[in-house]
A and B are shown apart, each in its own frame.
Chain A
């Protein structure tokens, strides 16, 4: 289903939607940094080609969250689940890479032998609105690892900028319901044609990418590991900002009344003690093994485990790495000769 949303009516739509959903969207802080935060008719989401620094995973996999509280009671200990329901949330203005990253997280947390109940609760309460971005940022490379239009159409609604308005494409029943708001009007054939020009331009930029083929090119003894490890300082910023990195730690904290909060907190395979065991043995003792782990996981292991490439080409790690390690160059080097030569810095 397609509808037209005049840019001047975005406000009305958000006002309408705010009665049904908690609204999140890209907003700028005073220092100019951008992240997903609360938006409203008075604080509109930024719908443009600038990708926010923080990824949307915070909405489904918070950097820190309580799993339960242990109450020692009075000889009657018990576990208390975290309070509150997962509020229906509408995330407006996700870039195609952001939408795709949720697909990767879904495979990890919803599929397999065990489902993650915390992730599932948040994810099932989340309705997504993509903004079809033109992927013009210097660090972006989504079209090297997939098709951003296909990714956008996995959101409940995809908004395509056609000048004075957005063409809104609903892809799910929840998306169609959102387009039932009176702020939308019918879309003309001309407007759809304009949208198709935008889509086709992006589709044409998409390079051939076969995750299986790339996975086959990731070699355990790749000389690139040494080169990357030499530069890497192991700060882990790449994985903290990465929209698809999922590693976490589980810790306890004693709070008032002798109660204990068990929480999980974001972690990264780039830290030296990530795999270090109690008796001292560490299967990944140096940066070489840790760098190899992260990149092999993204481009090889997860492809075979979950049937999806773990990189969405958002470029956050490229842009924010303090030593300018460029994953595009790394990827290009590792898989050269495997159909991915065009991914280069």
Chain B
């Protein structure tokens, strides 16, 4: 990465995938051909994306480093920068700084069963790790995904569900808060569906991300299922500006989410003051 951590690299938006009515996935390639080849990152890391003239915002990398050459980030339209991104077309230029932050400790998880629990746009960081693990399939035990959203239209990455389902020793469990006439899957909140499925904690790592309220109840459900805090991981979202531990914005107590996170185990979260 550049010597000046505030200076983004220019990238061209190659493709924009409409995931849901309010969420799009951007595929971007660095304009510098050398960087396109050399750029790498880890599942769980994030980047700062610039729309010049509007500003920067923080997005996790939703692509996997096992599929290099392109970086992907999923954007829900909520504020100024995300709206500006949604107004972009293929060929437009963005700035990208990163990768920043820590990542999922996937090396330590080799040989274990993995349970992914995602909600809404919270699937974005999980997708990076999920595809990474599927690309290194032999390293891991069975992989289960429980993924939910408000409605069938709010599920992201729908064009990948078949690939995830058909991967060896992998299962996908979908749920929505409200179904429609075409919906065949489960109806209900993610934490409740998790309790119904009641996965065993044995030799398993659970990785969850979603709206704060979902994470809260998923953590409770996992504890009821006898998962230990050391077996549970999540990735946090906080407002950030610099991404490098200087601007003083994203700390939770003594930890900077941008430097010490965004990935934390539930055991680590229990040590932090409840301010996130």
A67 at the binding interface (Cβ < 8 Å):
yes
Establish whether residues B276 and A250, one from each chain, have CB atoms under 8 Å apart when the complex forms. Answer: no
Q: Which A64-90 residues have C-beta < 8 A from chain B?
A: 67-68, 70, 72, 77-79, 81
| Shortest Cβ distance from residue A301 to the other chain B in the assembled complex, whole angstroms | 5
Q: Which of A12-20, A106-114, A144-152 contacts B (4 or more CB under 8 A)?
A: A106-114
**Chain B 202-240 per-residue mask, 1 if CB under 8 angstroms from chain A, else 0:** 000000000010000000000000000000000001110
Establish whether residues A269 and B53, one from each chain, have CB atoms under 8 Å apart when the complex forms. Answer: no
Q: Which residues of A contact B242 (CB under 8 A)?
A: 248, 250
Other-chain residue from B6, B249, B251, B259 in contact with A117 (beta carbon distance below 8 A): B6
Other-chain residue from A81, A249, A262 in contact with B247 (beta carbon distance below 8 A): A249
Q: Which B219-276 residues have C-beta < 8 A from chain A?
A: 237-239, 241-242, 244-254, 259, 273, 275-276
Other-chain residue from B212, B241, B253, B259 in contact with A250 (beta carbon distance below 8 A): B241
Q: Which B17-58 residues have C-beta < 8 A from chain A?
A: 50, 52-57
Q: Which residues of A contact B250 (CB under 8 A)?
A: 275
Kindly count the residue-residue contacts between A and B in the assembled complex, taking CB atoms under 8 Å apart. 115
**Chain A 108-131 per-residue mask, 1 if CB under 8 angstroms from chain B, else 0:** 110011101110000000000000
Among residues of B, the one whose C-beta sits closest to the C-beta of A77 is B93
B63 at the binding interface (Cβ < 8 Å):
no
Other-chain residue from A112, A251, A279 in contact with B245 (beta carbon distance below 8 A): A112
Q: How far is the CA of A250 from the CA of B4 in the complex (A)?
A: 15
Known: A276-B239, A278-B78, A289-B275. A260 touches B244 (CB 8 A): no
Among residues of A, the one whose C-beta sits closest to the C-beta of B1 is A114
A246 at the binding interface (Cβ < 8 Å):
yes
| Shortest Cβ distance from residue B239 to the other chain A in the assembled complex, whole angstroms | 5
Establish whether residues B237 and A277, one from each chain, have CB atoms under 8 Å apart when the complex forms. Answer: yes
B200 at the binding interface (Cβ < 8 Å):
no
Establish whether residues A301 and B93, one from each chain, have CB atoms under 8 Å apart when the complex forms. Answer: no
A283 at the binding interface (Cβ < 8 Å):
yes
Q: How far is the CA of A309 from the CA of B250 in the complex (A)?
A: 20
Q: How far is the CA of A187 from the CA of B57 in the complex (A)?
A: 58
Q: How far is the CA of A276 from the CA of B238 in the complex (A)?
A: 9
Q: How far is the CA of A260 from the CA of B56 in the complex (A)?
A: 13
Q: Which residues of A contact B259 (CB under 8 A)?
A: 112-113
Looking at chain B's contact residues, the main secondary structure is loop
Establish whether residues A249 and B241, one from each chain, have CB atoms under 8 Å apart when the complex forms. Answer: yes
| Shortest Cβ distance from residue B191 to the other chain A in the assembled complex, whole angstroms | 19
Q: Which A232-282 residues have C-beta < 8 A from chain B?
A: 246-252, 254, 260, 262, 264, 267, 269, 274-281
Q: Which B76-97 residues have C-beta < 8 A from chain A?
A: 76, 78-82, 93, 95
Known: A77-B93, A116-B246, A248-B241. A278 touches B7 (CB 8 A): no
Establish whether residues B275 and A247, one from each chain, have CB atoms under 8 Å apart when the complex forms. Answer: no
Q: Which residues of B contact A300 (CB under 8 A)?
A: 254
Q: Which residues of A contact B273 (CB under 8 A)?
A: 220
Q: Which residues of A contact B179 (CB under 8 A)?
A: none
| Shortest Cβ distance from residue A160 to the other chain B in the assembled complex, whole angstroms | 35
A284 at the binding interface (Cβ < 8 Å):
yes
Q: How far is the CA of A254 from the CA of B84 in the complex (A)?
A: 15
Known: A117-B4, A260-B52, A260-B53. A283 touches B247 (CB 8 A): no
Q: Which A265-318 residues have C-beta < 8 A from chain B?
A: 267, 269, 274-281, 283-284, 289, 293, 296-297, 300-301, 304-305
Other-chain residue from B8, B79, B249, B251 in contact with A301 (beta carbon distance below 8 A): B251
Establish whether residues A67 and B6, one from each chain, have CB atoms under 8 Å apart when the complex forms. Answer: yes
Q: How far is the CA of A114 from the CA of B273 in the complex (A)?
A: 25
Q: How far is the CA of A283 from the CA of B241 in the complex (A)?
A: 16
Establish whether residues A108 and B53, one from each chain, have CB atoms under 8 Å apart when the complex forms. Answer: no
B3 at the binding interface (Cβ < 8 Å):
yes
**Chain A 195-214 per-residue mask, 1 if CB under 8 angstroms from chain B, else 0:** 00000000000000000000
Among residues of B, the one whose C-beta sits closest to the C-beta of A277 is B239
Other-chain residue from B10, B82, B239 in contact with A79 (beta carbon distance below 8 A): B10
5 A-B pairs with the lowest CB-CB distances in the bound complex, closest first? A278-B79, A247-B248, A114-B244, A278-B78, A70-B52
Q: Name 24 interchain pairs, CB-CB below 8 A, sorted by A.
A: A70-B52, A79-B8, A109-B246, A113-B245, A113-B259, A114-B5, A114-B245, A114-B246, A116-B5, A246-B247, A250-B6, A250-B242, A260-B53, A262-B52, A274-B249, A275-B239, A275-B249, A277-B237, A277-B238, A278-B57, A281-B212, A284-B275, A296-B253, A301-B253
Q: 4 more A-B contacts (CB under 8 A) besides A260-B52, A262-B6?
A: A112-B259, A114-B5, A250-B55, A293-B251
Interface residues of B (CB under 8 A from A): 3-8, 10, 50, 52-57, 76, 78-82, 93, 95, 212, 237-239, 241-242, 244-254, 259, 273, 275-276
